[in-house]
């Protein structure tokens, strides 16, 4: 028997795809349309709002309840100390069936989210370290915001063939 509350992660993913999947506008990077892509986080369901250049406007963790600590540790693990990040940069939201336009009543899911380059940490520096998603392998990686590459170090042929020590 399938209980309705809490919903399984599979149901939550379906709701996210159908009701919270965008499109969005890239925030603070370009004017292109961004879409929601799922990140392989290992434990939790995490979505990334990514523009065609790979820039990540937002990371969102979904679950029966919002888990801001879990998302914070995930964002920290992905940004490896290169970006300013504190617990107050993680926000939470609750989605109810009425907001989502789906049947039933009550809370459907919780979200914890991080918006890149937002709030106190906001920087106008075009070379600020920023989180991107590789357009080839889907991994998250950090590079300057102004970079024209959407490939991580492992997928970029130029970077792979160019050892860092040589000039």
Residues near Zn ion, by CB under 5 A? 26, 29-30, 51, 53, 55, 134, 136-137, 152, 155
Q: How far is the CB of 108 from Zn ion (least distance, A)?
A: 29
| Closer CB to Zn ion, 29 or 95, in the complex | 29
| Closer CB to Zn ion, 30 or 142, in the complex | 30
User: Under a CB-based contact definition with an 8 Å cutoff, are residues 74 and 68 in contact?
Assistant: no
User: Under a CB-based contact definition with an 8 Å cutoff, are residues 3 and 11 in contact?
Assistant: no
Q: How far is the CB of 58 from Zn ion (least distance, A)?
A: 12
| Closer CB to Zn ion, 137 or 162, in the complex | 137
Q: How far is the CB of 124 from Zn ion (least distance, A)?
A: 15
**Terminal Cα distance for the chain, rounded:** 63
Which of the 8 DSSP states describes residue 89?
G
Q: Cα(122)–Cα(129) distance, rounded to whole angstroms?
A: 12
Q: How far is the CB of 89 from Zn ion (least distance, A)?
A: 19
Burial category of 167 from C-beta neighbours within 10 Å (exposed 0-12, middle 13-18, buried 19 and up) = exposed
| Closer CB to Zn ion, 109 or 131, in the complex | 131
């Amino acid at each position: 028997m399938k209980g309705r509350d809490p919903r399984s992660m599979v149901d939550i993913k379906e709701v996210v795809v159908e009701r919270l999947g965008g499109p969005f506008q890239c925030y603070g990077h370009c004017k292109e349309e961004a879409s929601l892509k799922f990140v392989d986080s290992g434990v939790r369901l995490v979505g990334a709002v990514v523009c065609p250049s790979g820039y990540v406007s937002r990371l969102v963790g979904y679950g029966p309840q919002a888990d801001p600590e879990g998302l914070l540790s995930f964002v920290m693990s992905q940004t490896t100390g290169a970006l300013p990040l504190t617990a107050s940069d993680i926000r939470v939201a609750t989605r109810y069936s009425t907001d989502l336009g789906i049947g039933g009543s009550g809370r459907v899911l919780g979200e914890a989210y991080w918006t890149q380059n937002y709030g106190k940490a906001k920087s106008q520096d075009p070379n600020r370290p920023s989180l991107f998603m590789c357009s080839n392998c889907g991994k998250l990686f950090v590079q300057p915001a102004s970079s024209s590459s959407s490939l991580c170090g492992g997928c970029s042929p130029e970077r792979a063939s160019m050892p860092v020590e040589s000039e």
